[in-house]
A and B are shown apart, each in its own frame.
Chain A
Amino acid sequence: MAPEKMKNQEGIPRHEGYRLSPEERLLERLRIEVESRRERNDLLERVYASKIGRLIPLAYESNLGHIIPGMDVAKMFEAAVEGEKTEDEKSSVQRRFSCAVIAAGFAIAWALLIAGEREGASFAGLVAGGIRVMEFHEEMIDEAVEKAQKSYAKVGHLLEQARDFIADEPQLAARVAERVRGFLGKGLKTEEAL
């Protein structure tokens, strides 16, 4: 094997016999963490995408779009899944949805909690869990908004609202998430949470 093929992208030899310096060890650990998280995020994105279609009618029927000032949950669903009408954007629905659901997760969880749907409630648990991740990775929100603003004007506008709300009301977002999770954990109907 050629010497360059025995090194990773950072130029660190791959074989276990090589003793890593502290700097190389740190670089390797970071590489593993980043790669692992990216793969898990791909899985999360697919899980979200597979469930979201069934929840669009619920968001519309519940007419809860404006329950959180400045945020329209139904429009977020629509923007995330339907998006613009160009072929290019249709082909990137999953990516757009991923951006939207990260930033707007707490609003979706809130709407589903009030809607009182068991199926929706299950998904709310998933979203609420995502809020915890979001809470610790604020840079993800900025990155999502930046991408959306550049590529998808419609979603970018909604994400701006979501980002501002998160910045203004982070504790509310966290409380909503915990409330949803708490009631789901007790096996109660979501309407009993109100």
Chain B
Amino acid sequence: MDAQIKSLIEHLVELGAEEQELRFWEDIMKDLDDADQVKLVNLLQHEAIQLEALARR
């Protein structure tokens, strides 16, 4: 899960999302329980999908 979150954050940064706020989540992800990590992954994936769609327009 950690690797997935890190990978998503890197992808979002590449897509132009604000890096500082995302790095914060990378730092604290170890303090999240499994359910919250899944929730975070879903949120990051959702933002990535939206930014990818925007890039195609």
Residues of B within 8 A of A36 (CB): 17, 43, 46-47, 50
Contact: B31 with A126, CB < 8 Å? yes
Contact: B25 with A28, CB < 8 Å? no
Q: How far is the CA of A39 from the CA of B16 in the complex (A)?
A: 18
The size class of the interface chain B forms with chain A is: 20 to 34
Residues of A within 8 A of B51 (CB): 29, 32
Contact: A125 with B54, CB < 8 Å? no
Contact: B24 with A132, CB < 8 Å? yes
- Contacting A at CB under 8 A, from B12-57, are 16-18, 20-21, 23-25, 27-28, 31-32, 36, 39-40, 43, 46-47, 50-51, 53-54, 56-57
Contact: A136 with B54, CB < 8 Å? no
The size class of the interface chain A forms with chain B is: 20 to 34
- Which residue of B has the minimal Cβ distance to A13? B57
Chain A nearest CB, measured from B46 CB (Å): 7
Residues of A within 8 A of B46 (CB): 36, 39
- Contact partner of A43 (CB less than 8 A), chosen from B23, B40, B53, B56, is B40
- Which residue of A has the minimal Cβ distance to B26? A129
Contact: A130 with B24, CB < 8 Å? yes
Chain A nearest CB, measured from B2 CB (Å): 15
Chain B nearest CB, measured from A44 CB (Å): 8
Residues of B within 8 A of A186 (CB): none
- Which residue of A has the minimal Cβ distance to B53? A16
- Contacting B at CB under 8 A, from A131-156, are 132-133, 136
A-binding residues in B (CB < 8 A): 16-18, 20-21, 23-25, 27-28, 31-32, 36, 39-40, 43, 46-47, 50-51, 53-54, 56-57
